[in-house]
Amino acid sequence: MDDLSRFKQTYFDESAELLAVAEAGLLRLAPGEIDMDEVNAIFRAVHSIKGGGGAFGFNDLVAFAHEFETVMDGVRNAEIPVTTRLVDTLIRANDVLARLLAHAADETEAPAGTTDDTVTALRRFLGRAEEPADEPAIPPPATLHPDDEDDEAGIFGDALAAIQAARDDPPPPPISGATPDGKIRWTIVFRPKAELLLSGNEPTYMLRALRRLGEAEVVCHLDKLPSLRDLDAELLHLSWTVTLLADPQVDRARIDDVFEFVADDCDIRISAEAPPPAVIPPAEPAPVFQTAPVPTAPAAPPSTPAATTSGSAKPGDGAKRTNGAAAGGDHAGPATHTIRVDLDKIDRLVNMVGEMVITQAMIAEHLRDLPPGQFQELLEGLESLAQHTRELRESVMSIRAQPVSSVFSRMPRLVRECAAVTGKEVMLVTTGETTEVDKTVVENLVDPLTHMIRNSIDHGLEGPEERERVGKPRAGTVHLSAAHRSGRIVIEVTDDGRGINRAKVLSKAIEKGLVQPGSSLSDEEIDNLIFLPGFSTADQVSNLSGRGVGMDVVRRNISSLGGRIGVYSTPGEGSRFVLSLPLTLAVLDGMVISVGEERFVLPLTNIVESLRPKPADLHGLVNKCDVMMARGEYVRLVHLHRLFGIPKAIDDATRGLVVLVETEDGSRLGLVVDEVLGQQQVVIKSLEANFRRLDGVAAATILGDGRVALILDVAGLREMSRHGGGANASGGATPPSPSLPAPADRSDQRQRQTV
């Protein structure tokens, strides 16, 4: 049972990847320039999902994937022209497939009718392809599988005839007589292994595909068919000989393609023209072909006359594809030298390397106390150890690193949808997709980027007419870029739209009570209002955005990753959103501070500056809540030692230091500490694994001397100083902005205090 669920998990993992492959391929599919490799990749992806699904008995999914696959097959045989509508339908089909997979993963039933519309749409393409003249656009009813049915009737009709024949005489030689002009006669002996059906493959389908290549005569061999008593219905006991009369365009590769996924599971012999014309005794067809050199579908050169390829299949494709099939029907085209590794193992590795870094720092600290000049070799050795450790850490971190392309590649889809909904013309340009960043960061980028791009299209870009009026190209451009900058990854979303309408933003903010009327804010401050919770300038709430749950969520997500977001806007020219994120969530840039005998780490992203205030800068507010004047602003002081109950610490801010910190929403706080010890990269350790979460503490780390230091959570500290902790420290001090329920905006706060 356990094993089965593990296999299932692997199947779902792989399917997710395959879906992504298919989607990426579909998005690149455009009328006119059809890359056959791409089409094949999509086909293979869908087929693999179907195959695996069959093995686990996900019948709905298999049935649907089958429809999908059939259309893809038509595309790759150039029977179905690639149109925008086709691509749209296929993308929709991909979504439906994803939904079915999700239901299968949750072990829930997909609601009835989930697939109906899409199946109908898919079949419409098929109908057109197969009967171009007769019934142009009448969709078959979406109940059964009518096209399957009549096809099967054909195939098994042959089989039934063969049963009859096998009982009496050998069957008449199929398609007797000379090969008609310009046609090539192929003889294909297809002997699947009995287990073929177990892997979700369907010979009917292959035979049907062969029939589509030309005029086919199918003979079904029943020699291996056991008596009814011994019949195992799960196994396949049939084999076939197909005589195919095809146009010269149909080359060996196209035939190989049909058996692409089953090459390992069956015995296929394909021969062309020069026939010993199919005098195949059905009782023992094998010996006749014993002379064939390669037992399975070989990567042999496309045989004789058909080598004049046209259109779809390139020479050499066949060989490549059979390789692909030999690799277990995997979707991977060119062999990439990768392995799938459990994330836990990598995490353990990262952990151990973290330990090494700490141990090495510890040794270095002890060696500093040695008398100088005496242990030269030891010191040199330590130096190179430090070097190796650093390299080791970098390479281990790079294992977890992934290119952001996995996120960026989802965006064309999004842009397409948004453009369709808003009626705008949008061009998406991406650069720096190969920039690598830690897996966890990549995973957490999807939502923020989705919001931001939606926002850019919905609010930033103008409609095509308006753009033309102001002399811009009709299509707006959204530029998504990623780059490494000083140990962080910087992601920018730039649009060439109208920019932030500051007057509107400000009036909206006043209307919603986010800003006091009459307050004067700088352009930058107004731009930043869009990150406030509940803010939206859209006059109408659209499906896309306008519900005011966009940018504040973005900012929250980003800051939970230790990142920051900024916006720069020029009216009439566009806006630029800049995200800056740490490369990994396992390591943090921190400032080590001391309070009493304790040391703490403050995330560097929170720190604005540290300073020692003069007595004149300090002011007492009611109930001993101190404020400090720093750079023209009043900042509330929070004594860390009071908050945490640490003895022997400096209480007087003028003798200690004030670290000015800024929380994610921009509000500032002055933390009173004893000393700032220095900047350091620290490995983030969980406190919750063996203990529990603590207020004001984000996590823990281990410093160079092996001792544990707590990493402070600035937002948590602010909350503490307002509520319980504040009471503890100063006997129920009222926070300076009691009427603000939500996190106070900086400008607002200033407003309140200066008025």
DSSP state, 656?
Answer: S
Give per-residue burial for 254-272: e unless 16+ CB within 10 Å, then b: bbbbbbbbbbbbbbbbbbb
What residues form DSSP beta bridges with 672? Answer: 639, 658
First to last CA, the chain: 69
In this structure, the strands spanning 426-431 and 401-403 are unpaired
Q: Which is nearer to other proteins, 105 or 694 (CB)?
A: 694
E strand or H helix that includes residue 7: helix 2-28
Q: Which of 318, 354, 550, 736 binds other proteins (CB under 8 A)?
A: 354
Looking at the DSSP assignment, which residues form a beta bridge with residue 680? 590
> Does 724 interact with other proteins (rule: CB under 8 A)?
yes
CB-nearer residue toward other proteins: 82 or 697: 697
Q: How many helices (H) and strands (E) does the chain have?
A: 23, 22
| Residue 345 within binding range of other proteins, rule CB under 8 A | no
Q: Which of 317, 496, 598, 617 binds other proteins (CB under 8 A)?
A: 598
Report in angstroms the alpha-carbon separations of 126 from 86, 123, 221, 742: 11, 5, 30, 57
Least gap, CB of 708 to other proteins (angstroms)? 4
Residue 715 buriedness (CB in 10 A; 0-12 / 13-18 / 19+): buried
Q: How far is the CB of 716 from other proteins (least distance, A)?
A: 11
Q: At its nearest, how many Å lie between other proteins and the CB of residue 588?
A: 15
| Residue 697 identity (one-letter amino acid) | V
* DSSP strand pairing (266-272 vs 426-431): unpaired
* Alpha helix stretches (DSSP H) within 705-745: 714-722, 724-730
Burial class from Cβ neighbours inside 10 Å (0-12, 13-18, 19+) for residue 32 reads exposed
Regarding 690 and contact with other proteins (CB under 8 A), the answer is yes
Q: Which is nearer to other proteins, 222 or 364 (CB)?
A: 364
Q: Using CB under 8 A, which of 708, 734, 742, 754 touches other proteins?
A: 708
Interface with other proteins includes 697 (CB under 8 A)? yes
Closer residue to other proteins in complex, CB, 508/599: 599
Which one, 102 or 727, has the nearer CB to other proteins? Answer: 727
Residue type for position 690? N
Indicate whether 674 belongs to the interface with other proteins (CB under 8 A). no
Strand-by-strand arrangement of the 476-485 sheet: 426-431, 476-485, 488-495, 574-582, 564-570
Cβ 366 to other proteins shortest distance, Å:
15
* Residues that contact other proteins, how many (by CB under 8 A): 34
| DSSP element (H, E) containing 391 | helix 376-400
Q: Smallest gap, in angstroms, from Cβ of residue 688 to other proteins?
A: 8
Q: How far is the CB of 718 from other proteins (least distance, A)?
A: 15
Measured from the CB atom, is 627 or 702 closer to other proteins?
A: 702
Q: What is the largest CA-CA distance in the chain?
A: 114
358 counts as binding other proteins under rule CB under 8 A: yes
Nearest approach, Cβ of 699 to other proteins (angstroms)?
9
* HEC-encoded secondary structure of 419-457: HHHHCCCEEEEEECCCCEEEHHHHHCCHHHHHHHHHHHH
**Type and span of the H or E element at 267:** strand 266-272
Residue closer to other proteins by CB (options 326, 362) is 362
Span interacting with other proteins, options 167-175, 282-290, 350-358, 393-401, rule CB under 8 A:
350-358
Angle at CA 650, nearest 5°, toward 646 and 652? 130
Contact 745, 532 (CB under 8 A): yes
Q: Which of 709, 711, 714, 715 binds other proteins (CB under 8 A)?
A: 709
700 binds other proteins (CB under 8 A): yes
Restricting to residues 223-282, name those near other proteins by CB under 8 A.
none
If one asks whether residue 572 binds other proteins (CB under 8 A), the answer comes out as: no
Q: Which is nearer to other proteins, 354 or 562 (CB)?
A: 354
Q: Got the DSSP string for 669-687?
A: EEEEESEEEEEEEEE-B-S
C-alpha triplet 650, 652, 656: angle, nearest 5°: 60
- Looking at the Cβ atoms of 121 and 703, the one nearer to other proteins is 703
Cβ atoms 726, 713 nearer than 8 A:
no
Here the tokens at position 564 are 């920051």
Q: Which is nearer to other proteins, 87 or 585 (CB)?
A: 585
Q: Considering beta carbons, is residue 487 or 645 the nearer one to other proteins?
A: 645
Q: Residues 85-104 vs other proteins: string with x where CB under 8 A?
A: --------------------
Q: Under rule CB under 8 A, which residues in 514-543 are in contact with other proteins? A: none
Among residues 179 and 728, whose Cβ is nearest to other proteins? 728
Nearer to other proteins, 396 or 437 (CB): 396
Q: At what angle do helices 446-455 and 551-560 cross, to 10 degrees?
A: 150
Contact 299, 318 (CB under 8 A): yes
Q: In the bound complex, what is the minimum distance in angstroms from residue 596's beta carbon to other proteins?
A: 9
Single out the residue of 695, 730, 752, 753 in contact with other proteins (rule: CB under 8 A).
695
Distance (Å, whole) CA 645 – CA 276:
96
Going by the DSSP 8-state scheme, the letter that residue 459 receives in this structure is I
Task: Find all residues with CB under 8 Å of 681, minimum gap 6, and list them.
Answer: 587, 588, 589, 590
Candidate residues 706, 734, 742, 754; the one interacting with other proteins per rule CB under 8 A: 706
Task: Assess contact for 586 and 350: CB atoms under 8 A.
Answer: yes
590 binds other proteins (CB under 8 A): no
The residue range among 74-82, 225-233, 723-731, 745-753 that interacts with other proteins, by the rule CB under 8 A, is 723-731
Asked if 631 interacts with other proteins (CB under 8 A), we say no
Burial (0-12, 13-18, 19+ Cβ within 10 Å), 458: buried
> Which part of the chain contacts other proteins (CB under 8 A), choosing from 536-544, 577-585, 601-609, 637-645?
637-645
Which of 316, 724 has the CB closer to other proteins?
A: 724
DSSP at 691: S
Report the interhelical angle of 36-56 vs 2-28 (nearest 10°): 160
Task: Report the alpha-carbon distance of residue 231 to residue 215 in Å, rounded.
Answer: 33
Give 328 or 706: the residue with its C-beta nearer to other proteins: 706
Is 727 an interacting residue with respect to other proteins (CB under 8 A)? yes
Decide if residue 687 touches other proteins (CB under 8 A). yes
With binding defined as CB under 8 A, does residue 728 bind other proteins? Answer: yes
Near other proteins by CB under 8 A: residue from 351, 360, 405, 680: 351
Phi-psi region of 702 (alpha: psi -120 to 50; beta: other; left: phi over 0): beta
- Please report, as residue ranges, which positions from 641 to 660 form the binding site for other proteins (by CB under 8 A): 643-646
CB of 730 to other proteins, least distance (A): 13
Shortest distance, position 678 Cβ to other proteins, whole Å: 18
With CB under 8 A as the contact rule, the residue among 381, 516, 693, 742 that binds other proteins is: 693
Give the residue with the Cβ less far from other proteins, 314 or 723: 723
Amino acid identity at 342: D
- 1 or 689: CB nearest other proteins: 689
Q: Closest distance between other proteins and the C-beta of residue 355, in Å?
A: 4
Do 463 and 428 meet the contact criterion of CB atoms below 8 Å apart? Answer: no
Under rule CB under 8 A, residue 171 binds other proteins: no
- Quick one: which segment of 354-362, 414-422, 478-486, 583-591 binds other proteins (CB under 8 A)? 354-362
* CB-nearer residue toward other proteins: 315 or 716: 716
Q: Which two tokens stand for residue 262?
A: 């089953």
Binding region for other proteins (CB under 8 A): 351-352, 354-355, 358, 598-599, 643-646, 685-687, 689-697, 700, 702, 706-710, 724-725, 727-728
